[in-house]
Structure 1
Amino acid sequence: MGVTVFIGGTVVVEASRDGRTTTSDAVAFSSGRVVALGREASALAESAEAEVVDLDGGTLIPGLGEGHAHPVLGGLEAAGPRVREASDLAGIIAAVAEWKRDNPEAEWIVGASYDATFAPGGRFDARWLDEVTGDTPTVLRAWDYHTAWANSAALAAGGITAATPDPELGRIVRREDGSPLGTLQEAAANDFLAGVAPPFALDARVAAIESATREYAAQGTTWVQDAWVDPADLETYRVAAATGRLHTRVNLALRADPAGWRDQVAEFTAVRDEIRGLGRERLSAETVKFFVDGVIENHTAALTAPYADRPDDRGLPNWTPEELSAAAISFAAAGFQLHLHAIGDAANRLALDALEAVRAQDAPDEVRRGRSGAADRAHVIAHVAMLAPGDAERFARLGAIANFEPYWAQCDAVMRELTIPHIGHDREGWQYLIASVLDGGATVSFGSDWPVTTKDWRPAFSTAVLRRSHLDSDAPAWLPHERITAGAALAAYTTGIARQALAPDRGALAVGMAADAAWLSADPLRVDPASIPEIEVLGTWLAGERIHPLPPAGLGR
């Protein structure tokens, strides 16, 4: 095999969680691995067979990871009305009207995702959509993907009336007379979208994941955690993998059903074994996803004390403590990594308690060992939006990974208009305690939750360091004691992700490691953090193969 040598810039060999970094001035790849650094790598550039990449003063970093996203959902947003681009309620309505005009034969309008701050309390009325959709059933997801907005025709198609009870784990928002307003939350929204609204065709779903992974490759991301996979999604990934349309690695997190998880243990084991048997290096299914609760913005996140603006409401937990622990123990014993969505402080405590129960089982190494062969099958709590005092320190004790979405660690419109009013200023300081979890000795990984917010790691990286938007230089840092260094932020996207990905051979560019890398126009560890979003990604390599920009003939195998 040939050798690719990178010279003429800075090579970040590794970033550690304490912010320290190791660098070199050259690195060489061969057969998908790092084979040399420094002078030894530079010497290999003299070979006639070597491909030499001049970094031109830029920086080569380990390939970045995406610790929590929904790439199929994100890719499908382009198939419906362009409501994401709307700047107000009128803009959403106009986008839906335009789509209907352009697609007059469509039997349904299905789209995503709208900004829930555009209506008081996030309560959207079916009649607002009726004005432009008429009798065409229409349903839109909110950007939190825990809420949906349906018009009257869609409500009728789903049989939702004043007499319809709320589902066990969801809410139908109602008018004062008890009639459905048009806003559906949690299971009410998810069940409607799964069982009433028509699904997107397979070719559209495959195109969505291809588009999403191309975009990830273009930003230097080489591994993605799809954090919500239902049975209907599996064929999408099988086809994408078989036809060469995955442009990054993707690990699937199969969603555990609180009502049927016992049957899923064997079902998911069969799925995992089937995916392993495909032999597609870019696709795996090593993880099980638990929705422990909902989100603060629609009052479904589980809190230990009532919401500030709803004194009788502590949220909507999806699991009892006993069932969550039992399910966690069973899936972990089957060799799965656990990935627990937890937003509210009560949900995070439940998740930590479940992982403590798993740890107490002391499963033997041969059960823990998975595809990577590593005994460290680290479990993940995702979002970690609120932590009550004392819980930040538990992550390290349990060996758990805290997967934060750092772009959320700012006082933006959502925080000001929905989150803080719901939880109260006395608990504002319990949010996104990234530095506290790191200081406790735990592993932190970063993600985006795209399409909830941007998948671009650059503004999120900047936010983790600044605790404010890079676009607002006059804004004070929000909870400034929770800022982290640029080195720690890079570690969360590289070495932290490698541990989450069950891939001890990734996340660094040391000799012997996988040759995953991103070529940047500037060093994110040295520039002004506010300018990190301006850094260009000039190239991306996955196991030594350049995946961005693609060669003219497309991606080879």
Structure 2
Amino acid sequence: MSRTSADLAVVGATVHTLDPARPAATAIAVRGGTVLAVGDDAEIGSLCDARTEIVDGTGVTVTPGLTDGHLHPVHGSLMTAGLDLSQCRDVDELRGTLAESRRDLAAGDWIRGFGLDPNILGGQRPHRRLVDDVLGEVPALLVLADAHAALASGAALRLAGVTGPVELPGNSEVVCDADGNPTGEILEDAAKRIIERAAPETDPADTADLLADLFQRMHATGLTGGHVMDLDDGSLAALRLLDERGLATPRLRLAPWCQPGIDGSGLRELIDLQGTSGRLWTVAGVKLFMDGTIDNGTAWLEHPDCHGESTKPYWLPPSEYAEAVGTLARAGVATATHAIGDAAVTFALDCLARYERPCVGGARHRIEHLETLPDELVQRMSASGVAASMQPSHLQYTKADHTDNWSTRLGGERANRAWRCADLVRAGATLVLGSDWPIAHFDPREVLGAARLRRLPGRPDSDPVQSSQALTAREALEAMTVAPAEVAGEQHVAGRISPGFRADLTGFGVDLLTAGPDELAEAPVRLTVVDGAVVHRA
């Protein structure tokens, strides 16, 4: 093979390069994991020889590889290996599902559930009395849809040694009644981990198997990479096992968590972790939390919700968050701050405004979620240079008529500020889109469709939530290609199809820029290429 011939070529396709220098083409040549050339079929044909793998792109629209801007592969794989509760529509269905699951358990097994919708509880708080009689002595931990709250059964609480209030950092809480008895409601990560430590551990090899299956499914939806917002649950060990096995993985950037109570040595460990890498993954950035979620009353709002909740930050006192962010920023570490409520976003921006030193590699600080924003925060985000990372498919947990738990807690005025994606883009902010899987499905067709429709694609019976915030097809596509590269400081090597750029490509059976957004729900994924290798073909 000639030094300049292609390893892989895609010909006869519609190619949206998102490169202003050459926005459209019909063919791409790849060599050594990078794009060798972009052009017409004749130009690319001249770079092929007998050993070039040639893909017929007839009927295929190729874009830069789609990147999920916020997901949790290991955490999600372990969570979703449990019992799916998302289809339970009322408490009776929940109880029936648990009773059926209990029949198949061996001695010592736990029931681990996920996706429990708080709206099915009829306005009451999660309480173990809802499930204890059907579970008996079977321990269960049922994670709510937002993954920031859970319901622990009485047996799980006993195994964890939880008999009353527990002193925890930040606003994590084991909720207790007036007599000091745990109700089973568990708020935020520190409280949830107390229960999880009592459950059997997962072997790293089993975690690697779950990841391998997940990555195949992700590639089949067109994903080529993701920004991973955690480094817990044995992530490094599992990823290293996959590398040893030579299995295909997406291109991943991982940001370990920085939690309340961390000291100077803990921060130094996070800084020293930066740059730890494998074949296609690297540790780059740190994830912090400024608040919890609106649905369980742990967000940080300027004014309380309808229950008088969501009034305090995740870090108590918040000055400790400011100190941690300052230490990381001065070390050049890019931070990603979970901030859902308006007070949380304001405080995070106030802290980040103090640090103008660029992050290592040109990466950007970012804020995750930003679910309800007044006008002044939209403008501040744009002026700050801090990237906005949002998940439009989370709109499935709200309703246009404001009868859902999220909207009811906020009230009409604040619910009308839901996920202001379009306002942020048009104000000039950098917007990255993702799924927050396992909170919503990782399928980028769902994310792109929801960004354009303000409801899930393929669900025309659902009313759009704040349709004025819909993105155009190009804005949505750029938010899963160009923008993730910019936020990572990789805009010169990723996010577009251009010579010298990484050969991460997604090919659909419809044109993402001209197809109707509802078509995306079932749009066939014809080709996924990561680092120049075909990882999915249909």
Please list the CA deviations of residues 357-412 of structure 1 after superposition, one character each: whole Å capped at 9, or x if unmatched: 222xx36xxxx33xxxx3x2211111111223211122232221111101124673
**Contact preservation (8 Å) 2:143, 2:151:** yes
Residue 314 of structure 1 corresponds to 311
**Contact preservation (8 Å) 1:75, 1:211:** no
Residue 392 of structure 1 is aligned with which of 365, 378, 394? 378
Residue 342 of structure 1 corresponds to 339
Closer, same or farther in 2 for the Cα pair 1:115/1:537, shift >3 Å? same
**Contact preservation (8 Å) 2:458, 2:519:** no
Residue 368 of structure 2 corresponds to 382
Letter matched to residue 502 of structure 2: A
Residue 409 of structure 2 corresponds to 422
Closer, same or farther in 2 for the Cα pair 1:398/1:148, shift >3 Å? same
Closer, same or farther in 2 for the Cα pair 1:411/1:259, shift >3 Å? closer
> Is 2:323 the counterpart of 1:326?
yes
Q: Which aligned pairs between 1:35-114 and structure 2 lie closer than 5 A?
A: 35-39=36-40, 41-44=43-46, 47-114=49-116
Residue 520 of structure 2 corresponds to 532
Q: Secondary structure at the match of 1:36?
A: strand
Residue 291 of structure 2 corresponds to 293
Residue 507 of structure 2 corresponds to 519
Alpha-carbon separation, structure 1, partners of 2:111 and 2:395: 33
Residue 478 of structure 2 corresponds to 491
Please list the CA deviations of residues 283-340 of structure 1 after superposition, one character each: whole Å capped at 9, or x if unmatched: 2111100011000000100001111x12465244325443222211211222321111
Q: Which aligned pairs between 1:46-445 and structure 2 lie closer than 5 A?
A: 47-121=49-123, 123-162=125-164, 168-175=170-177, 177-187=179-189, 189-230=191-232, 232-245=234-247, 247-273=249-275, 275-276=276-277, 280-307=278-305, 309-311=306-308, 314-359=311-356, 362=357, 368-369=359-360, 374=361, 376-409=362-395, 412-413=398-399, 416-445=403-432
| Aligned-residue CA RMSD (Å) | 2.6
Alpha-carbon separation, structure 2, partners of 1:21 and 1:134: 65
Letter matched to residue 473 of structure 1: P
Give the TM-score of the pair, scaled to structure 1.
0.88
Alpha-carbon separation, structure 2, partners of 1:21 and 1:466: 29
**Contact preservation (8 Å) 1:337, 1:377:** yes
Letter matched to residue 470 of structure 1: P
Residue 440 of structure 2 is aligned with which of 450, 453, 463? 453
Alpha-carbon separation, structure 1, partners of 2:521 and 2:84: 24
Closer, same or farther in 2 for the Cα pair 1:285/1:312, shift >3 Å? closer
Residue 26 of structure 1 corresponds to 27
Q: Secondary structure at the match of 1:541?
A: strand
Letter matched to residue 142 of structure 2: L
Closer, same or farther in 2 for the Cα pair 1:255/1:433, shift >3 Å? same
Question: Size of the alignment, in residue pairs?
Answer: 531
Q: Structure 2 stretches of 5 or more lacking a match?
A: none
Please list the CA deviations of residues 184-229 of structure 1 after superposition, one character each: whole Å capped at 9, or x if unmatched: 1114642324433333222222222222222211111111222122
Alpha-carbon separation, structure 2, partners of 1:411 and 1:184: 20
Deviation of the 1:449 alpha carbon: 0.6
Alpha-carbon separation, structure 1, partners of 2:463 and 2:110: 45
Deviation of the 1:542 alpha carbon: 0.8
Shifted more, 426-435 versus 199-208: the winner is 199-208
Deviation of the 1:98 alpha carbon: 3.1
Please list the CA deviations of residues 48-71 of structure 1 after superposition, one character each: whole Å capped at 9, or x if unmatched: 333221112220111000111111
**Contact preservation (8 Å) 1:404, 1:432:** yes
Q: Which aligned pairs between 1:1-12 and structure 2 lie closer than 5 A?
A: 2-12=6-16
Closer, same or farther in 2 for the Cα pair 1:357/1:46, shift >3 Å? closer
Closer, same or farther in 2 for the Cα pair 1:452/1:297, shift >3 Å? same
Alpha-carbon separation, structure 2, partners of 1:86 and 1:313: 26
Deviation of the 1:137 alpha carbon: 1.7
Residue 553 of structure 1 corresponds to none
Q: Secondary structure at the match of 1:197?
A: coil
Alpha-carbon separation, structure 1, partners of 2:200 and 2:264: 28
Alpha-carbon separation, structure 2, partners of 1:463 and 1:58: 22
Q: Structure 1 stretches of 5 or more lacking a match?
A: 551-557
**Contact preservation (8 Å) 2:205, 2:241:** no
Deviation of the 1:132 alpha carbon: 2.9
Deviation of the 1:474 alpha carbon: 5.4
Alpha-carbon separation, structure 1, partners of 2:373 and 2:263: 27
Closer, same or farther in 2 for the Cα pair 1:60/1:269, shift >3 Å? same
Q: Secondary structure at the match of 1:223?
A: strand
Residue 530 of structure 2 is aligned with which of 518, 542, 554? 542
Q: Secondary structure at the match of 2:512?
A: coil
Shifted more, 379-388 versus 474-483: the winner is 474-483
Letter matched to residue 395 of structure 1: M
**Contact preservation (8 Å) 2:170, 2:260:** no
Please list the CA deviations of residues 224-245 of structure 1 after superposition, one character each: whole Å capped at 9, or x if unmatched: 2221223744323333333334
